[in-house]
Structure 1
Amino acid sequence: MTRALENTGRIAHGLCPGARHIVFGDTADAAIDSDLWLMTEIDRAHVVMLCRRGLLPPERAAPLLALIAALRVENFASLRGRPAPRGLYLLYESLLIERLGGETGGALHTGRSRNDLGATLFRLKLRVPARRLLRELLRLEAVLLSRARRHLDVVMPAYTHFQPALPVTFGHWLAGIACAVGRDARALLDGVLPDLDHCPLGAGAVGGTSFPIDPRLTARLLGFTDPVGHSIDAVASRDCALRLLSAAGILGVTLSRMATDLLVWSTPEFGFLRLPDGLVGSSSMMPQKRNPFLLEHVQGLAAKPLGAFVTAAAASHAKPFSNTIAANTEGVGVIWEALRAITDAVTLSRLVIAFARPAPAAMRRSATAGFTAATELANQLARAGVPFREAHHQVGAAIAEALAAGGRERLHETVTESFADRLESDADAVSLDAVVAATRFGGGPAATSVRAAIAAEQAGWRTLVGRGQEIDRRWRHAAQELDAADHAIGEARR
């Protein structure tokens, strides 16, 4: 069988052993595990289509489908351990020919090529990790929104340049992350998954086929919405992988920035957050340590899609616009680990957000000590008739004077009291709670503002969940239709 596999008619001998080991491996077992179930799903749809179009009679289609089913039941044991001198597909096709004869086994590849088969297989393989990533991302957003509602009144400082800036709330911060995560989810659902909904099968090697096939039928049986309309585009393009890696890379940036905030806030110097024992690690040497190391995993895992994007884009760059191994095989091979990594980063992020407990007293002390109400004090002076730039200068000078006098402990009170006779309202107007309550414009941390943002994001979240469920239903219905069509051909032969 090996010799027959190596002789293509045009080429009498296969690859030399060293090259074969690098390209195809010693056996096809790894490829069987990763590819062959979905490949046979494509085969079943193709056989059904050929039969309905009169290109393959039922008496030959039925044995093909029956053998494919038998191989799937045995988990392809008949193919395992065999040498694959020209790759998985030809090893598998040769077994079909060996069992059914050339007239039947050799008819499977009518009207198609390994090029359109490979492009279709790639999109089918991307479905599960892409859908899983979206599902995990929506779970993270749900937890962020839930915790944002819970912590609307927990005052803390917002930071710019790592310096205390303005008083916000922990709920406000969480809602902000939820908004960014929501955009990342929409990028997947609007910009990536639609790409995966077009089926390349039917494009052949690069120029279509003269057989009167029905690509729309095979697309539907495999759960796609439509076939790809252009044969060169169908086999040349792997931009769906680039778009997916790009979206995953941007998501990774969001997660890494979130993780950095949480890491800093969990230090004893800040003391804003505490993680339960199940989400921290100890030291092999230092008994006092409670390391929030999962957040460092988030940072590292979230970076992998960026590297994978560069690899895939560079492998495709300046390659011919046709089927090419550099772009379509080697270049996109990095995507699987990248998708696993970013999905794991999302899951770890969700666990941390779900179980982290804020320390309201420490957060409030920091917001007070950093005099985060200073901007509102300047605003109050502006309301009293002082031009804002002058008010800004006066408050800044008062802060500098108080600090020079060693007044950091009571900085907020000292500076506020120095302007008491010039304010239209009393000093309570620049308390942290008053400042937060007043900043309801521009998406600020006032509870009414944050609740509105949460409500809008929640509505978008429900829409995304519903659309994801519609995709799942389409895939299930396609699988059921294919099973029914396969069964009907077997029954007709009997």
Structure 2
Amino acid sequence: MTNTSVETANVHGAAEGKSKVSGLLSEPLAKEIIEGITAPNLYRAFDDALYWFTKINRAHLVMLSEQGLIEVEVAGRLLQHISDLDQEGSKAFSLDPEREDPWFNYEAELTRRAGPEAGRLHMARSRNDLKKTQERMRCIKLAEELVAGSLAIREALLERAKAEVDTVMPGYTHLQHAQPITFGWYLLGIEAALSRDTSRIESALVRMNNCPLGAGAFAGTRFSINRERTAELLGFDGVQQHSMDAVGNRDAMVELMSAAMQLSMTIGRMSQDFYLWATYEFGMLEFPDRVASTSSIMPQKKNLTVLENLKARPTILLGAMSTAVATLRAVPFGHSQEVSIDSARWVWDSLEELKGILPAARVVVECATPRKERMKDLAGENFCTATALADLLSSRYGLPFRQAHHITGRYVRLVLDGNSPQEAIRGAYEEETGQPLDDIETLLVEALDPAGILDATTGCGPSRAESDVLHRDGLTRLEKDRKASAERLQRRASAELQLNTVSNQLVRKAAEEMAVS
């Protein structure tokens, strides 16, 4: 484990020594700045930074060696030390907040092992482009993980939708009975929304997949580096062309947050429906005990707190994104601590938590069990089929739809006032048209049968035929997105294999040179 507290010797020795990171600064950071700012930032960020430092440092060294900017044997020796540090992990480091940040602490340990030649690693590079490359790679990794989680939920939705395509239930608008639907058709709607959420993340991946490394502090470098080669070794599609934009912009992070929040919102709205439908009052869904919690005082409670957690996730993401946007608003277009540290204060945790909770959402989808008789009964109650009655009055008797709508509304009122359905529809029709209504029984049988109404639905509604089309379309989209994800991951795996291969070759060459000398 890394040291996670400010050492007394470091703090109280600050006034006696010099800066540990600069030949310009004649004294170290003040104790108060270390304790209030530097130390918390360092300890919070180091472990994750270490993971990315390994990859970025290796690619940078390979490129420097290939460009003739650093000797092969030096590159090989440094690569070996980098590999050792990666294997040992954070326990290899004694963090010192006087060294400001993760990079200077990393460099200090590398220098302790490799000597002064460790300083050659930072040739043609700044902490600014290093941090932005680290951030972009982390965004890409998280984006791919969110895509994978979304694909798994969509697969579960499509499987359940196929099984429940004939499970009739009431549909709701304004949380009031509206029209009959099926549970399978409802699940297909959630899958369609998640498909768009997935595409938003995939679209963001295209724009974030350019490498900032080589931008330097913000104005590039005079060394003859090969930015495209470094980008290739790190699995990027290309490089960011404008160096100031590369280090001064966090749009990749903000865009990913926005897409992730939309994803979580879709899941949250589904969870809200499940939450209501599983109550005693609705009684339409059941869940197994493995997704429930209980009360510490009320022994009868079976609480679906997992749905509460899923519903809350968009709020957490919104808070993190609001912090990022508010921090970046009106900040000068370049590098600063606000841009590089403060804007992301809550971003990474919220995205990691969303990634971690997606499998729970998949489990919820898989185990949500409809109470079919209850659903069917509710679909036929509370005038849920009234729209079908209005449609039939219009199509069968040649009435303008608005007139048919008015007759149906009057019918509902008369039934609520105690009239039978037959009396109500006869009276409503005659009041509006002045004509008697023929074949009342046939009309009511057809209009009051939820399953029959669904079969007669055309267009994009919840009929069996349309549901089958939507299901096939969903499977096609899912397969396409799975293939695209696999191809992206394969390209990155190939880049990592190439980086490992050339790095190991340099390490071997360095060892051979040492053996000869």
Q: For 2:102, which of 88, 93, 98 is the aligned residue?
A: 88
Contact 2:34/2:97 (8 A) holds in 1: no
Question: Pairwise mapping of residues 187-336 of structure 1 onto structure 2 (< 5 A)?
Answer: 187-190=200-203, 192-336=204-348
Structure 2: gaps of 5 or more residues: 1-8, 11-16, 430-436, 513-517
Q: 1:461 to 1:14 in 2, by over 3 A?
A: same
After superposition, what is the alpha-carbon deviation per residue over 1:257-292, rounded to whole angstroms, capped at 9, x for unaligned? 111111111111110001111112222222222222
What's the RMSD between the two structures over aligned residues? 2.2
Pick which of 314-323 and 123-132 moved more.
123-132
Aligned to 2:72: 58
Amino acid paired to 2:93: L
Question: Pairwise mapping of residues 386-405 of structure 1 onto structure 2 (< 5 A)?
Answer: 386-405=399-418
Give the Cα separation in 2 of the matches to 1:483 and 1:128.
Answer: 19
Give the Cα separation in 1 of the matches to 2:442 and 2:398.
Answer: 13
Aligned to 1:141: 154
Give the Cα separation in 2 of the matches to 1:417 and 1:78.
Answer: 86
SS at match of 2:461: coil
Q: Is the counterpart of residue 435 in structure 1 residue 453 in structure 2?
A: yes
Contact 2:18/2:26 (8 A) holds in 1: no
Aligned to 2:434: none
Q: 1:263 to 1:69 in 2, by over 3 A?
A: same
Amino acid paired to 1:429: E
Aligned to 2:82: 68
Give the Cα separation in 2 of the matches to 1:466 and 1:428.
Answer: 48
Identical amino acids, percent of aligned pairs: 32
After superposition, what is the alpha-carbon deviation per residue over 1:186-214, rounded to whole angstroms, capped at 9, x for unaligned? 11011x21233111000000000010000
Aligned to 1:171: 184
Q: 1:272 to 1:207 in 2, by over 3 A?
A: same
Give the Cα separation in 1 of the matches to 2:173 and 2:382.
Answer: 12
Contact 1:28/1:84 (8 A) holds in 2: no
Aligned to 2:479: 462
Contact 1:6/1:85 (8 A) holds in 2: yes
Question: Pairwise mapping of residues 376-415 of structure 1 onto structure 2 (< 5 A)?
Answer: 376-383=388-395, 384-405=397-418
Deviation at 1:252, TM superposition (A): 2.3
Deviation at 1:90, TM superposition (A): 1.4
Aligned to 2:194: 181
Contact 2:310/2:357 (8 A) holds in 1: yes
After superposition, what is the alpha-carbon deviation per residue over 1:367-425, rounded to whole angstroms, capped at 9, x for unaligned? 11122211111111112212221111112112211111176xxx6x7756877725696
After superposition, what is the alpha-carbon deviation per residue over 1:224-254, rounded to whole angstroms, capped at 9, x for unaligned? 1111111011001110111011111122221
Structure 1: gaps of 5 or more residues: none
Aligned to 2:54: 40
Q: 1:198 to 1:26 in 2, by over 3 A?
A: closer
Pick which of 11-20 and 228-237 moved more.
11-20
Contact 2:157/2:187 (8 A) holds in 1: yes
Q: 1:350 to 1:108 in 2, by over 3 A?
A: same
- Provide TM-score, normalisation by structure 1: 0.93
Contact 1:50/1:213 (8 A) holds in 2: yes
Aligned to 1:369: 381
Amino acid paired to 1:152: V
Deviation at 1:130, TM superposition (A): 2.0
Aligned to 1:453: 470
Give the Cα separation in 2 of the matches to 1:169 and 1:355.
Answer: 17
Give the Cα separation in 1 of the matches to 2:358 and 2:54.
Answer: 32
Contact 1:308/1:334 (8 A) holds in 2: yes
Contact 1:53/1:212 (8 A) holds in 2: yes
After superposition, what is the alpha-carbon deviation per residue over 1:149-174, rounded to whole angstroms, capped at 9, x for unaligned? 11111111111111111111111111
Deviation at 1:57, TM superposition (A): 1.0
Aligned to 1:151: 164
Pick which of 1-10 and 269-278 moved more.
1-10
Q: For 1:475, which of 474, 487, 492 is the aligned residue?
A: 492
SS at match of 2:39: coil
SS at match of 2:398: coil
The number of equivalent residue pairs is: 487
Give the Cα separation in 1 of the matches to 2:198 and 2:260.
Answer: 10
Contact 1:440/1:447 (8 A) holds in 2: no
Deviation at 1:55, TM superposition (A): 0.4
